[in-house]
């Protein structure tokens, strides 16, 4: 939720570089973030047939050592939006990429296939419900009738993935050791109430991230007071889970200003 506001700020016009490490799509978990770092540092190579499920850039820029060891960074904004790690054959997979891939292979009209995929992903995978994952997964395997390479991969993902919960504080500590630069934790808000109160999903995740940041003395950027200040009905789209386009620069500039203050205070 924080990348799009940043891209729409004045700071993005020449003063911030977003693609020094290659363009990356949405990644949600600490496991995905560490995997991306491993790829940048040439410690891991993602097989070509699986890279689309990871959201790691297909094309990597040529980089010097200052980029690979992150010496070019003044500050990092860390905003994991999910504690649920999805692992497949040693890779951290992205849940949106999994959903798109399986749905494309189902080749079904909305109905049972859509329902079973939703149960499998929301309850079984994200909800860490092994029974729901097994039962809905078995039905999805029956609905995957083609024998294309894409469908074979979809079957393998459904049958083989492992899910677990992130250790947030250990992940933050490891990130601080890897980057060796100031880190700002940007809180992820799953959805807002009409009065602007933030809703966490899974329940308690926002509080867990906040507690880990405080334990490690990491500065925290919380966008919810800004939403309350400007009025939830004016700045949030229907469903109260996304910002309206004209509010994106407001949130982005607030985060940039916060980050600049952290950078200034960290200088000797």
Cα 40 to Cα 253: distance, rounded to the nearest angstrom: 28
Q: Residue 181: helix, strand or coil by DSSP?
A: coil
Q: What is the pLDDT of residue 119?
A: 96
Dihedral, 94, 31, 45, 67 alpha carbons, nearest 10: 110
Q: What is the pLDDT of residue 26?
A: 79
Q: By CB neighbour count within 10 A (0-12 exposed, 13-18 middle, 19+ buried), where does 97 fall?
A: buried
Q: Do residues 30 and 168 touch, judged by C-beta distance below 8 A?
A: yes
Q: Residue 191: helix, strand or coil by DSSP?
A: strand
Give the burial string for 65-85 (b: 16+ CB within 10 Å, else e). Answer: eebeebeebeebbbbbbbbbb
**Structure token pair of residue 256:** 């940039």
Q: What is the pLDDT of residue 233?
A: 92
Q: How big is the chain, counted in residues?
A: 268
**Structure token pair of residue 237:** 């789209």
The runs of H, that is alpha helices, within the chain are 3-7, 30-40, 65-68, 95-106, 112-118, 130-143, 149-160, 168-179, 205-215, 224-230, 232-235, 248-266
What's the CA angle centered on 133, arms 151 and 47, to 5 degrees? 40
Q: Which residues pair with 84 in a beta bridge?
A: 165
Regions of the chain where pLDDT drops below 50: 1-2, 4, 12, 14-16, 62, 66
- Nearest in space to 79 (alpha carbons), one of 262, 255, 266: 255
């Amino acid at each position: 939720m924080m990348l799009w506001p940043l891209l729409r700020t004045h700071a993005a016009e020449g003063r911030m570089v977003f693609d020094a490490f290659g363009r990356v799509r949405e990644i949600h978990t600490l496991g995905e973030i560490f995997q991306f770092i491993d790829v940048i540092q040439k410690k891991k190579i993602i097989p070509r047939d699986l890279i689309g499920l990871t959201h790691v850039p297909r094309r990597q820029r040529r980089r010097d050592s200052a980029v690979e060891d992150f010496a070019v960074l003044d500050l990092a904004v860390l905003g994991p939006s999910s504690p649920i790690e999805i692992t497949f054959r040693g890779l951290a997979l992205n849940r949106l990429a999994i959903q798109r891939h399986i749905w494309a292979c189902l080749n079904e009209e909305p109905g049972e296939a859509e329902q079973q995929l939703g149960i499998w992903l929301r309850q079984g995978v994200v909800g860490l419900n092994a029974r729901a994952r097994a039962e809905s997964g078995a039905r999805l395997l029956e609905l995957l009738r083609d024998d294309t390479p894409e469908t074979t991969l979809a079957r393998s993902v459904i049958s083989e993935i492992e899910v677990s919960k992130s250790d947030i504080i250990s992940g933050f500590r490891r990130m601080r050791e890897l980057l060796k630069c100031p880190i700002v934790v940007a809180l992820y808000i799953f959805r807002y109430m009409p009065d602007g109160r933030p809703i966490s999903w899974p329940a308690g995740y926002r509080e867990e991230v906040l507690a880990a940041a405080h334990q490690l003395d990491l500065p925290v950027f919380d966008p919810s007071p800004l939403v309350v200040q400007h009025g939830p009905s004016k700045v949030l789209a229907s469903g109260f889970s996304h910002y309206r386009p004209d509010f994106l620069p407001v949130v982005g500039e607030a985060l940039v200003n916060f980050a600049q203050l952290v950078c200034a205070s960290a200088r000797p």
